[in-house]
Homo-oligomer: A and B are copies of this chain.
Amino acid sequence: MSATLDPVAGAGSGAPAPTIASTGLTCPVPVATHAHVVLGHGSGGKLSARLFAERFWPRFGNPILGQQADAALLEVAAGTLAMSTDTFVVRPLEFPGGNIGDLAVNGTVNDLAMMGAEPRWLTCGFVLEEGLPLEVLDRVLEAMAAAARATGVTIVAGDTKVVERGKGDGIFINTTGIGMRRAGWAPAPDRIRPGDVVIASGPIGRHGTAILAARDDLGLVTTVTSDTAALWPLVDALHGACGDAVRALRDPTRGGVASTTNELAKSSGVGFRLDEASVPVPPDVTAACEMLGLDPMYVANEGVLVAVVAPEAAAAALAALRSHPLGAQAARIGAAIADHPGMVTMRTHVGGTRVVDMLPGDQLPRIC
């Protein structure tokens, strides 16, 4: 954010014009008291500076962000960084269990965590639509700040643009994160071997179901909430308990557990056999998915990880996950096998076996 902290805004609005002594001006000047985002908030001028000073800085403020230069300066030790970017366009902006703000922080820090990297620094880029109520922006920023605190990541830089009404959709947020990889641990699909155990850290299908149910046009009433959460604490616990025996990690976001296990199978060259009865699906997710015609295996999660661990470490991995509230329902859901390399099959509830394919197309647009 190259915005300065100068809290003086002089651009016009329809609001009354109080005199503010702090400006040093001696006659009444129009002070913007907008309730909604206006184009000037993205202009890089005084309204931008005021937006930053009044809404971003109080929530995100820290010494690095306070450098207020063209770029943030970060001191690093020699090692391996992980870097990930994601743009969030979720609709609606607020949904049961979260909003676009915590989703944007958790989504990117989770990508770092899946590489065995402790999230350290985050940037955020906002595209706001003219007319967005500032109280909505406030709630989103509040959620971002809370999510960043929860996972120990520092927001070091940002940027805000405003587009005309009808050229955006409320708020889009890009987050880009950097993490520092743990020395001596390189979780990756190519380390998966037949016999390894596949674990899900918690109940699946919540995020995508909650989003779809929250869309006005469906009118579906359900208790399902998004699972949006930072996964680094679970990764940290897993690594602490099992070390290098944690072969690979992946968060089953878009495309769900089905697509994630397919990606792992294709990258590793082993097959996967899942057991449908062992996959933790909450009853309200099952019920909502039946009404919506969805398969929970393909529904996005935002607070679940899939871990592939060496068989001798499986018990310790489950215990480590279950020691954390987020992992209380962790379950062994299948195994890597030598058969049908690159393919995922599942033993179904009725005892048959079916192929679990990649997500074929556009199941749920704008769920993240």
Contacts and interface: CB of A to CB of B under 8 A. Distances in A.
B126 A87 contact: yes
B81 A161 contact: no
A360 B81 contact: no
A125 interface: yes
Interface residues of A, number: 87
A366 to B, nearest CB: 7
B76 A360 contact: no
Contacts of A81: 73-76
Contacts of A362: 11, 38-40, 42-43, 45, 47
Contacts of A78: 76-78
Nearest to A69: B115
A51 to B, nearest CB: 12
B84 A75 contact: no
A70 B84 contact: yes
Interface in A1-15: 2, 4, 6, 10-12
Interface of A: 2, 4, 6, 10-12, 38-40, 42-47, 68-89, 110-112, 114-115, 117, 121, 123-127, 156-159, 161-164, 166-169, 172, 174, 176-179, 181, 188, 250-251, 253-255, 259, 263, 266-267, 358-366
Given A71-B84, A125-B176, A159-B174, 5 more contacts: A70-B110, A70-B112, A72-B82, A74-B82, A168-B168
